[in-house]
């Protein structure tokens, strides 16, 4: 151990504690215990904590630089279909691989070496390369590879332009759909991020595929108990029960009604932009009943009045505080005294966890943000509502924030 990392009792105690956790994890593996997503996350966090205990600033810098390099190498190897042209099992020579994709052998070898150095690929001999379990997902079109493309194509350029953006707009929190960091980086500051994306349908398709990889982190149902809504359904045959505001293709409503006996899907309402609703109408469904589908922009007046619940899930984090207040106020104005607004979002701890801190800064590029419960209380209060309860998911930071009229 370097002299600059002193073997203090604090460091030694931390290493002992982390070693014990790793030992227990190793025992579980030997005993054949199936690792749950929660336990996997804890194990990864333990390993990261071990590095953080002993890392020096120079080590941190090296890790950061390698992150840039590795991300770029993966993106090029995916774009040029290099990983796709490697055998799933077994090796291939760099020469043969370069010939398959029509690329330069020397440079493709150097890109692969980056992933070999980080354990994502493996080399046999001096000229044979092979996949590992960590590289195979990037050899095909799937949610994980789509998410990697988003990270590089949609966000990296925005981060690179951040210094110039703040030189231009001042050292303040980005807010609003116009003049976002992303729009600035792409040379169209007067357009919204959505308008920029929809200019290229392939970007929209890749985004949709990538987002599907995150659904396990944000459960569609099972966090909030809708049984009281089912009981109230019989009181009035024409009162809307659950309005899913910005509900995309309706998967959330279907999951809620499937998990809540007595909650009829045809008494619920799916709202989104016309082009999204058009897709939803054309989709097949296992359920014979379908929700009412309404073209709607949640920045404008809420067309469905007096519903029992207005649900808005994973939308508000895309917008500034001012825009969120406007969105929530439209719902508040449509509510009856017994109506509820349910906000499905990540609730930041203070300080936030590693993944939520990352997502928060990603959202900053489009003028959005994650929020603490105090942040939600602020925007809710300004919209004429108040938080009555917070229902947390069993794992992670996702919650359903229950609101009522103030």
- The answer to whether the CB of 240 falls within 8 A of the CB of 308 is yes
Pairing of strands 269-272, 242-245: parallel
**Pick among 3.40.710.10, 1.10.10.10, 2.60.40.10, 3.40.250.10: CATH of 9-135:** 1.10.10.10
Sequence length of the chain is: 406
The whole-number pLDDT of residue 18 equals 87
Active site residue 317: yes
Question: pLDDT of 62-87, one tens digit each?
Answer: 999 999 999 999 999 999 999 999 99
Locate the domains of the chain by residue range. 9-135, 143-214, 218-405
Measured at the CA of 16, the angle between CA 13 and CA 22, to 5 degrees, comes to 145
For position 3, what pLDDT does the model report?
A: 45
Task: Enumerate the H helices of 150-298 as residue ranges.
Answer: 157-169, 181-185, 193-198, 201-211, 227-232, 251-259, 274-282
**CATH code given to domain 218-405:** 3.40.50.150
| The predicted structure's pLDDT at residue 7 | 54
| Predicted local distance difference test score (pLDDT) of residue 312 | 98
Can you give the pLDDT at residue 40? Answer: 85
pLDDT in tens, 257-300: 999 999 999 999 999 999 899 988 887 666 668 999 999 999 99
- Low-confidence stretches of the chain (pLDDT beneath 70): 1-9, 216, 284-288
How far apart, in whole angstroms, are the C-alpha atoms of residue 167 and residue 155?
A: 19
| Annotated catalytic residue within 179, 317, 330, 391 | 317
Q: How much is the pLDDT for 1?
A: 45
pLDDT of 22-67, one tens digit each? 898 888 888 888 888 888 888 888 888 889 988 999 999 999 999 9
């Amino acid at each position: 151990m370097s002299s600059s990392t002193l073997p203090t009792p604090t460091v030694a105690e931390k290493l002992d504690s982390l070693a014990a956790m790793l030992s227990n994890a190793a025992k579980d593996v030997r005993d054949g215990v199936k690792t749950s997503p929660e336990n996997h996350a804890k194990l990864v966090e333990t390993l990261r904590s071990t590095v953080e205990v002993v890392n020096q600033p120079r080590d941190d810098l090296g890790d950061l630089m390698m992150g840039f390099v590795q991300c770029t190498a993966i993106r090029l190897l995916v774009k040029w279909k290099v990983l796709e042209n490697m055998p799933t099992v077994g090796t291939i020579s760099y020469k043969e691989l370069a010939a398959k994709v029509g690329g330069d052998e020397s440079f493709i070898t150097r890109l692969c070496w980056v992933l070999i150095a980080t354990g994502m690929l493996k080399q046999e001999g001096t000229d044979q390369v092979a996949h590992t379990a960590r590289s195979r997902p990037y050899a095909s079109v799937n949610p994980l590879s789509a998410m990697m493309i988003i990270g590089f194509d949609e966000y990296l350029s925005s981060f690179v332009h951040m210094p110039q953006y703040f030189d231009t707009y001042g050292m303040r929190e980005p807010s609003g759909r116009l003049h976002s960091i992303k729009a600035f980086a792409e040379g169209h500051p007067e357009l919204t991020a959505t308008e920029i994306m929809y200019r290229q349908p392939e970007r929209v398709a890749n985004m949709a595929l990538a987002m599907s990889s995150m659904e396990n982190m944000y459960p569609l149902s099972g966090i909030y108990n809708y049984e009281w809504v089912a009981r109230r359904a019989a009181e009035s045959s024409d009162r809307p029960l659950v309005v899913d505001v910005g509900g995309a293709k309706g998967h959330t409503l279907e999951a809620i009604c499937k998990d809540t006996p007595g909650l009829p899907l045809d008494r619920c309402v799916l709202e989104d932009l016309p082009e999204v609703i058009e897709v939803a109408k054309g989709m097949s469904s296992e359920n014979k009943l379908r929700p009412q589908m309404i073209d709607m922009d949640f920045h404008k007046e809420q067309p469905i009045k007096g519903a029992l619940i207005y649900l808005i899930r994973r939308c508000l984090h895309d917008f500034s505080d001012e825009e969120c207040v406007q969105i929530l106020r439209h719902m508040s104005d449509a509510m009856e005294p017994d109506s509820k607004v349910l906000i499905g979002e990540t609730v930041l701890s203070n300080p936030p966890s590693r993944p939520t801190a990352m997502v928060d800064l990603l959202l900053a590029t489009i003028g959005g943000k994650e929020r603490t419960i105090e942040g939600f209380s602020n925007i809710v209060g300004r919209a004429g509502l108040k938080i009555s309860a917070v229902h947390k998911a069993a794992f992670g930071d996702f919650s359903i924030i229950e609101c009522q009229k103030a």
